[in-house]
Structure 1
Amino acid sequence: MKDAVAGPGAMLAGLRLIFTPGLKRFVLVPLLSNIVLLFSFIWFGFKLFDSWLGGFIQSLPEWLSFIEWLIWPLAIIGTLGFIVYGFNATTSLIAAPFNGLLAEKVEQHLRPGISFPDESMSEMVKRSLMRELQKQWFFLKRVLLLLIISFIPGLNLISPILWLLFSVWMLSVQYLDYPMDNHKIGFHAMQRELKQRWWHTFSFGFAAYGCMFIPLINLLLMPAAVAGATWLWVQQYSHDWNDVDSKNISGPV
């Protein structure tokens, strides 16, 4: 697979995989969470956008009215960043154990005979939730920094671009982490791996980001992204982790 189509290829593979017999039943909870919360965040995000932007433009002095054409696209990008982060954080906390299970079943479908570390269902749920909280803390620290930048005159003009890049990277971290966590690869080690293969990481994030705004496809985003990330893990990342236990798989956030 060529690097240039790594991300879109993974998302297409994910969309196919979630309709595979034997996997469809593991898609239900992520799918329902995705539908309800995606529409909720889109509605709330653009309601917030409309009220904030109208007030901000009215507060501009007359001599700055010429920058209104620039504020609109930047505000839209910033609002989309808020929607992506809020939607991602909320749905992931709700569906984390189900997404981990879906990633496991997809990998077993792609690699028959693959084994995972032994753990009970309660241990898997606890591990998934703790890992999700770790990810959300990692994201939240960067969101707070972006919010500060968004209110600094001058710097706030580039904040929408930073929101876009952060949203793309966040989506990759969010979904590619599921198959890695199933193999008990530590969060810090997972980040190093994604940075080393930064093109695959960004291209997958951009593909997932784009799918959020395609009608009907966006309803399938979460389970398709989990399945697609697992497919990408198998195709591109897992070869470096043939002997996971021998690696340093722990580390700080």
Structure 2
Amino acid sequence: MDTTRVTAPAASAVGRFFSGVGLLLRGLALYARSPRLMLLGILPALITGVLFLGAFAALVYFVDDLAALVTPFADDWSATPRNLVRVMAGLALLGIGGLVGVLTFTAVTLVVGDPFYEKISERVEQRYGGTPGEVEVPFWGSLRRSVVDSLRLVAISVLIGIPLFVAGFIPVVGQTVVPVVGAVIGGWVLALELVGAPFYRRGMRLPDRRRVLRADLPTSLGFGVAVFVCFLIPLGAVLIMPAAVAGAALLTRRILGQPIEEAARP
């Protein structure tokens, strides 16, 4: 089977978006039914989660000072407009910090837990018939590629975060449109990160991921945005990470036209 073949979307964009959300729910169900997978997946996410929670707590603690640092033009304003601008700056800093934190959390956790998440992804694929055209992926080579690709995606997310931070100063738009745009961008980057393992097993790299996921963008975004929203919930990233890896294996199979129903057993 040609593993680079992409299925043609059939349902409406809204239907495909929610089918992507459903893939995360299916990943969660698979994960909940497999205690060993739960233990494999939680530890790396827990370690990374403690580190990132501490970093975000530090951001919250110093956010007033940082807001003043990025708004020196307001130093001579009267108290009310100065405070208003700095509250908006603080909210923008927390929002962008959350966005970058979620994306970097995923990248770091995937690197730290590479052997664990590779095993989860592989088991999910075996459950549904295996990986067509599977190639040998040496551990160190896989880890190196994972680190390089994750750094690229994190760099892109930081570059995108800068204009979002600036847009956060716009009244109303900064508090409504910007968070939605951030969730969509964050969901896209998360989807690209999470499908890394199943794509590597097929001999496909980051450019292939972009091309394949873009072919069914609503499904990819439905999955990624659902993961992004779950990651914003306290402890959500730690608990959902293994389910997201399982769901990413299902997303890969669906978009490549491979079965996501359990293989018949003799």
Quickly name the TM-score band, shorter chain normalised. 0.7 to 0.9
Aligned to 1:3: 16
Deviation of residue 85 (structure 1)? 2.7
CA contact (8 A) 1:116 1:183 kept: yes
**Structure 2 segments unaligned to the other structure (5+ residues):** 1-10, 260-266
What's the offset of the Cα at 1:82? 2.6
Moved more, 47-56 or 139-148: 139-148
User: Identity, % of aligned pairs?
Assistant: 22
Q: Which residue of 2 aligns with 1:29?
A: 40
Distance 1:194 1:52, change over 3 A: same
Paired positions, count: 232
Give the 3 Å change call, closer, same or farther, for CA 240–102 of structure 1 in structure 2.
closer
RMSD: 3.0
Residue 207 of structure 1 corresponds to 226
Give yes or no for the alignment of 1:117 onto 2:118: no
Tell me the distance in 2 between the aligned counterparts of 1:77 and 1:215.
15
- Rounded to whole Å, the distance in 2 between the matches of 1:214 and 1:56 is 24
Q: In structure 2, what is the equivalent of residue 39 of structure 1?
A: 50
- Show CA shifts across 1:98-119 (max 9, x none): 21221111011122x5555353
Question: Which of 214-223 and 203-212 deviates more?
Answer: 214-223
Q: Distance in 1 between matches of 2:195 and 2:98?
A: 21
2:233 aligned counterpart, secondary structure: coil
Letter of the 2:48 partner, please give it: L
Q: CA deviation at 1:188?
A: 1.1
Task: Decide whether aligned partners of structure 1 residues 4 and 140 sit closer, same or farther in structure 2, where only a CA change above 3 A counts.
Answer: closer
Does structure 2 conserve the Cα–Cα contact (< 8 Å) formed by 1:103 and 1:179? yes
2: CA distance, partners of 1:143 / 1:216: 22
1:85-234 alignment, distance < 5 Å = 85-111=103-129, 114=131, 117=134, 119=136, 123-146=137-160, 149=163, 157=169, 164-215=183-234, 217-234=236-253
Assess if the C-alpha contact under 8 Å between 2:102 and 2:232 holds in 1.
Answer: no
Separation in 2, partners of 1:33, 1:231: 22
Unmatched 5+ stretches in structure 1:
242-253
Cα distance in structure 2, aligned partners of 1:196 and 1:45? 35
Alignment counterpart, residue 70 of structure 1, candidates 80, 84, 88: 88
- CA-to-aligned-CA distance 1:125-148 (integer Å, 9 cap, x gap): 124212212312321431453466
TM-score of the superposed pair, with normalisation by structure 2: 0.74
- The letter of the residue matching 1:13 is R
In the alignment, the residues of structure 2 paired with residue 114 and residue 86 of structure 1 have an alpha-carbon distance, to the nearest angstrom, of 28
Quick one: which amino acid aligns to residue 239 of structure 1?
Answer: G
